[in-house]
C-alpha cells in the first residue's frame, strides 16, 4: 500500500525529466492522470482484413503476397508495390525509399502491412504503410491499439508503454470508486482498462462516438465532479463577507415613480428575491433568466438604486459597446433625476475621460459605472464596489467575472453578483451546472407586446419577401435582414452579406440600407447600429454578429436567410430583436430547400412558439448545451471527456449520484481527480 501511494511518474521506466516535461504539457502530473489520459482513436490490429473488404480510411492489417514493385514517375517519383490476396489486389506507395527497400519486394514474397487505405489512381492504395516482408511477422494484437493525444517528441509507442506500465500496476493505485454509480454501470477500474485496451471485437465507432458504456461511466463521474465543484464553490462563496445593504423603500419608490409603466409581477418577484440577497452579509450569486424583452434592465436598475442609496458603488457590464451605451442611456434616464452620478467606460472612451472616470470611481464620486470589458483593466479601481451586474453573462468567461469581483477586494468586500441572461437554461442543466448560483426567472413579458408572428418561406420566393420589405418601409417600419454562415468562415459570410446588400439596393432603390458584420471595427459597428437605431437606415443587413439585446422598438420585420444553419436558441435571440414595440412584428425564416426532416421540425418549433424555454429544451434535445452554457464550460474548466451534446441523458443521474455523496474527503478527491488544479471555479 505504501509503495503504491508513493508511485510517481519518475518511478516509471523510461520517464526522465524530458519525458516528464512532455507529460506535463499533456496535463499529466501523476500516474493516475495517465490512466485518465484516454485514447482519441483506435486502430484495429487484432485481425487481418481481406483486401476485398477494405474500407476507405479505416486502418487495417492486410496479409498478402507481392505481385510486383515498380518505380513510377507521376507528379512525384514513387515506388508502387502491387500486392494481392485471395480477395483482391491493392497498391502500396512509397515516396521515400532506398534501393535496398526496393529489392525486398520480390514477386511471390509474403508481406504483412498496416495502414489506412485511400483512393489512389487505381482503386485503394496505402501510402507509406508499416510493413514486414517475409514469413517472420509480429503476432496480431490482443486488443484494439489506442492512439493517444500527444505532443511533439513523445511518440505513440513511448506513451503507450508508459501508460501500460501504470495499467499493469493499477490494482495498487489509489483508483478508488468515489461514487456509487447507477446499477449496471461498469466499475471504474474495468472502464479504464477497457478504454485503453478495448478487447477484440469492440465496436470502434461506439468508442469514438462516445456511447460505449466504459466511456459513459467515466463521463458520468466527470460530470458529477464538476457539479460537486460548483456546489463546493457555492459553500465557499457564502462564507465570504459582503457588504449588507440597508434597504430603502423610499429610494425604490423614487425610481419607480418616474416610470411610465408598472413592473410586471415577475419583475416584482425577482426584485424581492434580489433585495433579500442584498441585505445579507454573504455575497449574492444570482442569475436572472428572462426572455428577450422581459425587462431585465429595470430589475438591475432597482438593485443598483438600493446599493447607491446606501452610499455604495455599483458596476454594470455588457458584452458590446452598443449594449453598454444602451444601458448607460437607460440608467441615466432613471438614475440621474435621483441625483446619482453615472459614468460610461468602453473601448471608445478617450484617455482624458477615462482618467476622470477612474478618479471618480476611486474617490467614490461616481456611483455607477456602465461599461464593457474595459472595466476589467487594472487601472479601474473602486472606493467601495458592492454590486456587479453582468448582462448576457454567457458571453463572459468565469475568469472575467472573477476579475470584476476582485475589484471589491481592496475595500475588503466581496461584491454582490447579479448575472443576467436572455438564454433560458433548462432546469436539469441549471441544477447541474449552475449549482453555484441562485436562479431567478422573469417568466412574463410586459403587457402590450404583440408576439412575433413567424413564417417559413422557401428561398425560391425571395422576390415576394423583398416586395414585402418595400411595403413595410413605406409604412415607416424598420427591417433586419440576417445572413447566416455558409460555413465557419467570416470571409464567405461577409461576401454573402455584401452580395445580399447589393442585391437589395438594386431591388429597393428607395430604401436606405446599411450593413453590419464581424469584420467591422467596434467603432464602425457602433456607427451603423446607431444609424439604424436612430432611424437613418430603414433596412439593416447583418451577419449573425448582430448585437444581442439591442432595443430598436420600431424594427418590426426580420428576415433570416438559411435559418436551418442556426441553433434554435440563436434564432430565438435574433428574433427577439423584433417585437419590442407595440406594432405587430414578423419574422420570416427564409430557408433553402430541400429541408431535412430534422430542420423542418426545428423551424416548425420556431414558428409555433415564442417561448424561450420550450425552444431551449428543444434545442438541447437536438444540439446539446454548447450554446446555452457558453463560456462556462468551454473555458479553462472545460470537460476532458464529457460532451454535453452527447451526454445530456446523464444529467438526471448526475443529480442523483451527486446528492448521494456527502463525505467531504470523497468529494475533494473526486474534484481533484477530474478538475485538479484547474479549479478557477474557486474565484468565479
Q: Which CB, 371 or 549, lies closer to Mg ion?
A: 549
Contact 480, 557 (CB under 8 A): yes
Distance between CA atoms of residues 661 and 468, nearest Å: 60
For ligand ADP, the binding residue among 117, 129, 263, 424 (CB under 6 A) is 263
Contact 401, 371 (CB under 8 A): no
Looking at 446-454, 475-483, 542-550, 622-630, which segment touches Mg ion (CB under 5 A)?
542-550
Q: Which CB, 237 or 294, lies closer to ligand ADP?
A: 294
| Residue 567 interacting partner from ligand ADP, Mg ion, none (CB closer than 5 to 8 Å by kind) | none
Q: Is 475 left (phi over 0), alpha (psi -120 to 50) or beta?
A: alpha
Q: Which CB, 293 or 397, lies closer to ligand ADP?
A: 293
Q: Which CB, 294 or 358, lies closer to Mg ion?
A: 294
Compose the 427-446 pattern: x for residues touching ligand ADP by CB under 6 A, - for all others: -------------------x
Contact 162, 154 (CB under 8 A): no
* Least spacing, CB of residue 475 vs Mg ion, in Å: 27
Q: Does residue 267 touch ligand ADP according to CB under 6 A? A: yes
Q: Does residue 268 touch ligand ADP according to CB under 6 A? A: no
Sheet of 385-390, strand order:
342-345, 368-371, 313-317, 385-390, 416-421, 285-290, 438-442
Looking at 45-53, 99-107, 257-265, 462-470, which segment touches ligand ADP (CB under 6 A)?
257-265
Q: Which CB, 400 or 423, lies closer to Mg ion?
A: 423
For ligand ADP, the binding residue among 39, 181, 293, 563 (CB under 6 A) is 293
Please list the residues that pair with 82 across neighbouring strands.
Answer: 68, 91
List the grid coordinates of 366. Answer: 461616481
List the grid coordinates of 649. Answer: 441523458
Q: Does residue 117 touch Mg ion according to CB under 5 A? A: no
Q: Does residue 264 touch ligand ADP according to CB under 6 A? A: yes
* Least spacing, CB of residue 117 vs ligand ADP, in Å: 55
Q: Which CB, 310 or 611, lies closer to ligand ADP?
A: 611
List the grid coordinates of 625. Answer: 448545451
Residues 339-358 binding ligand ADP (CB under 6 A) are none
* Least spacing, CB of residue 303 vs Mg ion, in Å: 14
Q: Which CB, 112 or 296, lies closer to ligand ADP?
A: 296
* Least spacing, CB of residue 266 vs ligand ADP, in Å: 9
Please list the residues that pair with 540 across neighbouring strands.
Answer: 480, 514
Q: Cell 455599483 appears where?
A: 314
For ligand ADP, the binding residue among 143, 294, 320, 684 (CB under 6 A) is 294
CB atoms within 10 A of CB 575: 25
| Residue 264 interacting partner from Mg ion, ligand ADP, none (CB closer than 5 to 8 Å by kind) | ligand ADP
Cα–Cα separations (whole angstroms), residue 417 to 5, 284, 658: 42, 5, 26
| CB-neighbour burial class of residue 383 (10 A; exposed 0-12, middle 13-18, buried 19+) | middle
* Least spacing, CB of residue 115 vs ligand ADP, in Å: 56
Contact 649, 216 (CB under 8 A): no
Cα–Cα separations (whole angstroms), residue 475 to 471, 531, 538: 6, 19, 11
Sheet of 60-73, strand order:
118-119, 124-127, 88-94, 77-85, 60-73, 110-115, 130-133
Using only C-alpha atoms, the chain has a radius of gyration, in whole angstroms, of 31
| Residue 289 interacting partner from Mg ion, ligand ADP, none (CB closer than 5 to 8 Å by kind) | none
Distance between CA atoms of residues 387 and 454, nearest Å: 39
Q: Which CB, 74 or 260, lies closer to ligand ADP?
A: 260
Q: Does residue 293 touch Mg ion according to CB under 5 A? A: no
Looking at 129-137, 237-245, 546-554, 644-652, which segment touches Mg ion (CB under 5 A)?
546-554
* Least spacing, CB of residue 334 vs ligand ADP, in Å: 9
* Least spacing, CB of residue 650 vs ligand ADP, in Å: 32
| Residue 564 interacting partner from ligand ADP, Mg ion, none (CB closer than 5 to 8 Å by kind) | none
* Least spacing, CB of residue 303 vs ligand ADP, in Å: 13
Q: How many CA within 13 A on the CB side of residue 422?
A: 25
Q: Does residue 579 touch Mg ion according to CB under 5 A? A: no
Distance between CA atoms of residues 9 and 27, nearest Å: 13
| Residue 563 interacting partner from ligand ADP, Mg ion, none (CB closer than 5 to 8 Å by kind) | none
Sort strands 453-458 and 478-482 into parallel, antiparallel or unpaired.
Answer: unpaired
DSSP one-letter code for 572: H
Q: Which CB, 283 or 549, lies closer to Mg ion?
A: 549
For ligand ADP, the binding residue among 9, 179, 422, 508 (CB under 6 A) is 422
How many residues sit in the footprint of Mg ion (CB under 5 A)? 1
- Cβ neighbours of residue 387 closer than 8 Å, sequence gap 6 or more: 278, 303, 304, 307, 312, 313, 314, 315, 415, 416, 417, 418
Q: Which CB, 264 or 358, lies closer to ligand ADP?
A: 264
Residues 11-70 binding ligand ADP (CB under 6 A) are none
Q: Give the closest residue to 302 by CA, choosing from 336, 266, 274, 276.
A: 274
CA angle 394, 400, 403 (to 5 degrees): 145
Contact 323, 392 (CB under 8 A): yes
Contact 252, 335 (CB under 8 A): no
Q: Which CB, 296 or 477, lies closer to ligand ADP?
A: 296
For ligand ADP, the binding residue among 181, 397, 549, 563 (CB under 6 A) is 549
Q: Which CB, 323 or 557, lies closer to ligand ADP?
A: 323
Residues 369-388 binding ligand ADP (CB under 6 A) are none
For ligand ADP, the binding residue among 45, 296, 373, 394 (CB under 6 A) is 296
For Mg ion, the binding residue among 115, 549, 567, 658 (CB under 5 A) is 549
Q: DSSP strand E in 422-502: where? A: 438-442, 453-458, 478-482
Greatest pairwise CA separation for the chain in angstroms: 98
Looking at 125-133, 378-386, 537-545, 547-555, which segment touches Mg ion (CB under 5 A)?
547-555
- Contact positions vs Mg ion (CB under 5 A): 549
- Contact positions vs ligand ADP (CB under 6 A): 261, 263-264, 267, 290, 292-298, 422, 446, 549, 551
Amino acid at each position: 500500500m505504501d509503495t503504491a501511494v508513493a508511485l510517481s511518474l519518475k518511478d516509471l521506466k523510461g520517464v526522465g525529466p524530458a519525458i516528464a516535461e512532455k507529460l506535463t504539457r499533456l496535463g499529466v502530473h501523476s500516474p493516475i492522470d495517465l490512466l485518465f489520459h484516454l485514447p482519441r482513436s483506435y486502430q484495429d490490429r487484432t485481425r487481418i482484413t481481406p483486401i476485398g473488404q477494405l474500407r476507405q480510411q479505416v486502418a487495417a492489417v492486410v496479409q498478402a503476397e507481392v505481385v510486383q514493385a515498380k518505380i513510377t514517375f507521376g507528379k512525384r517519383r514513387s515506388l508502387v508495390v502491387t500486392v494481392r490476396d485471395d480477395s483482391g489486389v491493392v497498391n502500396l506507395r512509397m515516396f521515400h525509399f532506398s534501393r535496398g527497400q526496393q529489392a525486398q519486394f520480390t514477386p511471390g514474397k509474403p508481406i504483412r502491412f498496416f495502414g489506412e487505405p485511400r483512393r489512389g489512381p487505381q482503386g485503394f492504395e496505402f501510402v507509406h504503410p508499416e510493413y514486414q516482408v517475409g514469413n517472420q511477422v509480429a503476432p496480431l494484437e490482443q486488443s484494439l491499439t489506442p492512439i493517444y493525444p500527444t505532443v511533439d517528441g513523445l511518440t505513440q509507442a513511448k506513451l503507450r508503454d508508459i501508460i501500460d506500465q501504470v495499467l499493469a500496476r493499477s490494482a495498487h493505485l489509489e483508483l478508488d470508486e468515489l461514487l456509487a454509480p447507477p446499477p449496471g454501470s461498469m466499475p471504474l477500474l474495468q472502464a479504464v482498462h477497457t478504454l485503453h485496451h478495448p478487447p477484440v471485437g469492440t465496436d470502434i465507432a461506439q468508442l469514438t462516438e462516445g456511447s460505449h458504456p466504459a466511456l459513459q461511466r467515466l463521463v458520468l463521474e466527470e460530470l458529477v465532479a464538476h457539479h460537486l465543484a460548483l456546489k463546493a464553490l457555492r459553500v465557499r462563496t457564502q462564507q465570504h463577507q459582503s457588504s449588507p445593504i440597508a434597504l430603502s423603500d423610499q429610494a425604490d419608490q423614487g425610481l419607480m415613480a418616474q416610470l411610465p409603466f408598472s413592473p410586471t409581477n415577475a419583475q416584482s418577484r425577482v426584485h424581492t428575491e434580489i433585495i433579500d440577497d442584498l441585505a445579507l452579509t454573504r455575497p449574492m450569486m444570482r442569475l436572472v433568466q428572462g426572455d428577450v424583452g422581459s425587462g431585465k434592465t429595470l430589475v438591475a436598475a432597482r438593485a443598483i438604486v438600493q446599493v447607491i442609496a446606501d452610499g455604495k458603488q455599483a458596476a454594470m457590464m455588457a458584452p458590446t459597446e452598443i449594449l453598454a451605451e444602451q444601458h448607460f442611456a437607460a440608467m441615466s434616464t432613471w438614475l440621474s433625476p435621483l441625483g446619482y452620478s453615472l459614468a460610461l467606460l468602453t473601448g471608445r472612451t478617450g484617455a482624458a475621460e477615462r482618467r476622470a472616470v477612474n478618479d471618480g470611481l476611486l474617490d467614490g464620486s461616481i456611483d455607477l459605472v456602465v461599461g464593457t470589458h474595459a472595466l476589467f483593466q487594472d487601472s479601474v479601481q473602486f472606493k467601495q464596489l458592492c454590486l456587479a451586474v453582468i448582462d448576457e453573462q454567457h458571453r463572459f468567461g468565469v475568469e472575467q467575472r472573477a476579475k470584476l469581483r476582485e475589484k471589491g477586494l481592496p475595500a475588503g468586500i466581496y461584491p454582490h453578483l447579479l448575472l443576467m441572461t436572455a438564454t433560458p437554461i433548462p432546469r436539469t442543466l441549471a441544477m447541474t451546472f449552475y449549482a453555484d448560483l441562485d436562479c431567478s426567472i422573469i417568466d412574463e413579458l410586459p403587457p402590450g407586446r404583440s408576439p412575433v408572428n413567424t413564417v417559413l418561406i422557401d428561398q425560391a420566393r425571395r422576390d415576394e419577401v423583398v416586395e414585402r420589405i418595400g411595403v413595410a418601409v413605406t409604412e415607416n417600419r424598420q427591417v433586419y435582414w440576417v445572413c447566416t454562415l455558409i460555413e465557419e468562415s467570416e470571409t464567405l459570410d461577409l461576401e454573402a452579406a455584401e452580395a445580399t446588400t447589393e442585391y437589395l439596393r438594386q431591388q429597393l432603390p428607395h430604401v436606405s440600407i446599411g450593413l453590419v458584420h464581424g469584420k467591422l471595427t467596434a467603432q464602425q459597428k457602433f456607427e451603423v447600429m446607431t444609424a439604424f437605431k436612430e432611424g437613418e437606415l430603414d433596412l439593416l443587413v447583418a451577419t449573425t454578429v448582430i448585437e444581442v439585446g439591442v432595443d430598436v422598438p420600431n424594427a418590426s420585420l426580420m428576415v433570416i436567410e438559411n435559418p436551418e444553419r442556426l441553433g434554435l436558441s440563436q434564432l430565438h435571440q435574433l428574433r427577439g430583436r423584433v417585437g419590442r414595440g407595440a406594432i405587430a412584428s414578423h419574422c420570416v425564416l427564409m430557408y433553402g430547400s430541400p429541408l431535412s426532416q430534422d430542420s423542418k421540425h426545428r423551424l416548425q418549433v420556431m414558428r409555433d412558439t415564442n417561448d424561450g424555454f420550450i425552444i431551449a429544451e428543444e434545442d438541447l434535445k437536438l444540439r446539446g448545451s454548447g450554446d446555452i452554457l457558453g463560456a462556462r464550460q468551454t473555458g479553462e474548466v472545460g470537460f476532458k471527456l464529457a460532451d454535453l451534446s452527447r451526454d445530456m441523458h446523464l444529467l438526471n443521474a448526475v443529480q442523483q449520484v451527486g446528492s448521494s455523496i456527502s463525505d467531504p474527503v470523497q468529494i475533494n478527491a473526486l474534484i481533484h481527480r477530474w478538475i485538479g488544479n484547474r479549479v478557477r471555479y474557486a474565484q468565479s
